Amino acid sequence: MAFTVLYLAAIVLVPLLTLPVKSFSDGWGFFWSTVSDPRVMASYRLTIGASFVAALVNGGLGIIVAWVLVRYDFPGRRLVDAMIDLPFALPTAVAGITLTSLYAPTGWFGQYLAPYGVQAVFSPLGITIALVFIGLPFVVRTLQPVIADLDVELEEVATSLGADRIQLVFRVILPYLYPAWLIGFGMAFARAIGEYGSVVFIAGNMPMKTEIASLLIITKLTQYDYTGAAAVAFVLLVLSFALLLVLNALQGWSAKRLGY
Amino acid sequence: MAGHRVSRPIRPGLTEPYAVRVGLIVVALAFLVVFLFVPFVFIFVEALRNGWSAYVGAIESPESLAAIWLTVLVAALSVPANALFGIAAAWAITRFDFRGKRLLTTLIDLPFAVSPVVAGLIFVQLFGRQGWFGAWLSNHDIRVIFALPGIVLATIFVSFPFVARELIAVMEASGREEEEAAGLLGANGWQMFRRVTLPNVKWALISGVILCTARAMGEFGAVSVVSGRIRGETATMPIHVEILYNEYAFQASFAVASLLALVAVFTLVMQTVVARRTRPVVADEALAAELIES
């Protein structure tokens, strides 16, 4: 008990406390001028925007993947199911260099995009691709148990009341999956906001254009601007915590809705 | 998160028309092929593209070996620490009632919500030259940042919740009755833990330790902030991969990366094995519940 609290405090709480303290060590004015700087604001916009789009892509395709894995049988289904967690297990730096080489103009994928004038690497598109990769398991893994628990009777009742398959999907099944979907979406979004390793290689890191917030923190650190780095990080931290709180509330709401 | 696995019976009866079914399977597989399978295969193709001897050569270079050794050392130091904490935390949370229990449970998950870069930054602020303890440390000639202790601390932080999470879930579900019975029969705390709790949570512990190890070996963001990325000295395997890649030594970079990819595969395989070990128990419980109901 005492060990638990002490360890938690020493490893997590005290180190995290340094962040707000350091951020405001040069006063509120300095903090504000740092985070409202156009370059910092641009990095926040890019980070949040790309994370949101990536979470949406995962949200849409994640439903299909989860549905297919639970409901249909096809050769290799178990292998596919086991591989869903790959983005959790693969170090982010490995994902980063792999995606960068694949989408480079001469890479396996990039060569088919280049003729259409689509440049994936060193662009917001590349950042989004990397974020889709690392966020892929969240929606699938939160939806799978819920789809597996989906009551067949529910579908039978709706069908016997005259609902066709399309009505059934949009008026019965999707509303039922919605809370779990939102949690998966939120987790993918939150993870993407703080992501660093898989993005730095493919982003190109041009200030104002393809520079994400995590990278900006490192840039400020290498320039010995410790207070500035802390300020940028503090905003990111507050954003993550806000998302964590929303997710916790969602989990409570979802549990109630599903009647646990 | 990782580790969630469901037994999923494929239900007969209501389903979509054949064409829709095939269509959905094709869309799902196409997405996974582009985003998971091809990238995974690509790592090994690139690593082996100059042949086997070049592959082995890249891994056997002194700097790569130093990176591998450092990575194993960091994992060997941080995983046991987190495993010990995980057991203590799960024990405290599931076996005792106290105020602030919910808060404690939430706090354990906190490192998952923190960006790895921020995780690295907070340790620089504590132990760096300009940090809170910076002056004291440099007076005593102790290096934490840009050295092994900093890397270990940052790694402990990012891999902190894995063991605790897995254990709390299982110990919550199994309840306290067995330990209480053991206590009534005169077992002391250690016997209770060794003979009753540990056998029950064995697979959850293994699963947590594997996930924790994978994360500890693969951490990049936090380590790149605290390590200073000194090649051959403070470069762990992921950092070494980055250094090689930025020097356009692509084949060597992917060779080292392929070792990390193998660790990832091992993790996934073990997760599947552990899930299969624990599933029959759950099935038995469900069966027992049904029998009782009827």
pLDDT in tens, chain A (260 residues): 778 888 888 888 888 988 888 888 888 888 998 889 999 999 999 999 999 999 999 999 999 999 999 988 889 898 999 999 999 999 999 999 999 999 999 999 999 998 898 888 999 999 999 999 999 999 999 999 999 888 777 788 888 887 777 888 888 888 888 889 999 999 999 999 999 999 999 998 888 889 999 999 999 988 888 899 999 999 999 998 888 888 888 877 877 776 55
Question: Cβ separation of A72 and B25 shorter than 8 Å?
Answer: yes
What is the number of domains present in chain A?
A: 1
Q: How far off is chain B from A96, nearest CA to CA, in Å?
A: 9
Question: Cβ separation of A83 and B268 shorter than 8 Å?
Answer: yes
Helix (H) or strand (E) holding A84, with range, is none
pLDDT tens, B153-207? 999 999 999 999 889 988 888 778 888 888 888 888 788 888 888 888 889 999 9
Q: Domain B62-293: which CATH class?
A: mainly alpha
Residue A31 lies in a domain: no
Nearest to B130 among A90, A226, A244 (CB): A226
Residue A6 lies in a domain: no
Which residues on A lie below 8 Å from B30 (Cβ)? none
Residue A115 lies in a domain: yes
Give the Å distances, CA to CA, from A158 to A153, A161, A177, A249, B13: 8, 5, 16, 30, 14
8 A C-beta contact, residue A130 and residue A96: yes
d(CA A227, CA A35): 11
The separation between the first and the last C-alpha atoms of chain B, rounded to the nearest angstrom, is: 35
pLDDT tens, B215-267? 999 999 999 999 988 888 899 999 999 999 999 999 999 999 999 999 999 99
- Taking the CA of residue A51 as centre, how many other CA atoms within 13 Å lie in the half-sphere pointing to its CB? 25
For chain B positions 23-62, those within 8 Å of chain A (CB to CB) are 24-25, 27-29, 31-32, 34-40, 42-43, 46
> CA of A129: which chain B residue's CA is closest?
B35
d(CA A169, CA A111): 38
Residue B23 φ/ψ, nearest 5 degrees = -60, -45
> CA of B244: which chain A residue's CA is closest?
A97
- Taking the CA of residue A90 as centre, how many other CA atoms within 13 Å lie in the half-sphere pointing to its CB? 32
Question: Cβ separation of B8 and A91 shorter than 8 Å?
Answer: no
pLDDT at B290: 54
8 A C-beta contact, residue A150 and residue A175: no
d(CA B248, CA B292): 66
Q: Would you say the C-alpha torsion A23, A26, A28, A34 has a positive or negative sign?
A: negative
Count CB-CB contacts under 10 A for residue B105.
16
- Would you say residue B40 has pLDDT above 90? yes
Q: What are the CB-based long-range contacts (under 8 Å, 24+) for B276-283?
A: B277/B203, B278/B203, B278/B204, B279/B5, B279/B7, B282/B7, B283/B7
Q: Does B156 touch chain A (CB under 8 A)?
A: yes
Burial class (CB in 10 A: 0-12, 13-18, 19+), B273: middle
Q: Would you say the C-alpha torsion A168, A169, A173, A174 has a positive or negative sign?
A: negative
Question: Cβ separation of A90 and B46 shorter than 8 Å?
Answer: no
- Would you say residue B3 has pLDDT above 50? no
In 3D space, the residue among A184, A114, A172 whose CA is nearest the CA of residue A144 turns out to be A184
Q: Does A194 touch chain B (CB under 8 A)?
A: yes
Please name the residues in contact with A34: beta carbons below 8 A apart, sequence gap of 6 or more: A40, A227, A228, A231, A232
> CA of A20: which chain B residue's CA is closest?
B122
> CA of B47: which chain A residue's CA is closest?
A98
Q: How far off is chain A from B22, nearest CA to CA, in Å?
A: 9
Nearest to B14 among A90, A148, A152 (CB): A152
Question: Cβ separation of A11 and B153 shorter than 8 Å?
Answer: yes
> CA of A19: which chain B residue's CA is closest?
B122
d(CA A131, CA A145): 24
Residue A143 lies in a domain: yes
Task: Label residue B284 by pLDDT band (50, 70, 90).
Answer: low
In 3D space, the residue among B163, B155, B145 whose CA is nearest the CA of residue B109 turns out to be B163
Question: Cβ separation of A8 and B107 shorter than 8 Å?
Answer: yes
- Would you say residue B4 has pLDDT above 60? no
Pairs of CB atoms within 8 A across A/B:
262
d(CA B219, CA B114): 13
For chain B positions 100-139, those within 8 Å of chain A (CB to CB) are 104, 106-111, 113-118, 121-126, 128, 130-132
d(CA A118, CA A136): 23
> CA of B107: which chain A residue's CA is closest?
A8
Question: Cβ separation of A155 and B14 shorter than 8 Å?
Answer: yes
- Would you say residue B101 has pLDDT above 50? yes
d(CA A44, CA A47): 5
Residue A13 lies in a domain: no
Question: Cβ separation of A94 and B42 shorter than 8 Å?
Answer: no
Question: Cβ separation of A152 and B13 shorter than 8 Å?
Answer: yes
Residue A259 DSSP label? T
Q: What is the mean pLDDT of residues B53-82?
A: 96
Residue A19 lies in a domain: no
Structural domain spans, chain B = 62-293
- Would you say residue B293 has pLDDT above 70? no
Residue A253 lies in a domain: yes
Which residues on A lie below 8 Å from B220 (Cβ)? 91-93, 196-197
> CA of B225: which chain A residue's CA is closest?
A218
Which residues on B lie below 8 Å from A87 (Cβ)? 36
Domain of A150, CATH number, reads 1.10.3720.10
Q: How far off is chain A from B111, nearest CA to CA, in Å?
A: 7
Task: Label residue B10 by pLDDT band (50, 70, 90).
Answer: very low
- Would you say residue B117 has pLDDT above 50? yes
Structure tokens at A14: 């005290």
pLDDT tens, B121-162? 999 989 988 788 888 888 888 888 889 999 999 999 999 999
- Would you say residue B55 has pLDDT above 90? yes
For chain A positions 59-78, those within 8 Å of chain B (CB to CB) are 61, 64-65, 67-74
Q: How far off is chain A from B219, nearest CA to CA, in Å?
A: 6
Nearest to A221 among B124, B257, B261 (CB): B124
Nearest to A72 among B14, B21, B220 (CB): B21
pLDDT at A133: 97
Residue A156 lies in a domain: yes
Domain containing A72 equals: 37-257
Alpha helices in chain B (DSSP H): 18-32, 38-47, 52-60, 62-95, 101-113, 116-127, 134-139, 148-158, 161-174, 177-184, 189-191, 198-218, 221-227, 237-246, 250-293
Structure tokens at A83: 């591989």
Q: How far off is chain A from B237, nearest CA to CA, in Å?
A: 10
Using CA atoms of A85, A88, A90, A96 in order, give the dihedral in degrees to the nearest 10.
Answer: 120
d(CA B162, CA B285): 25
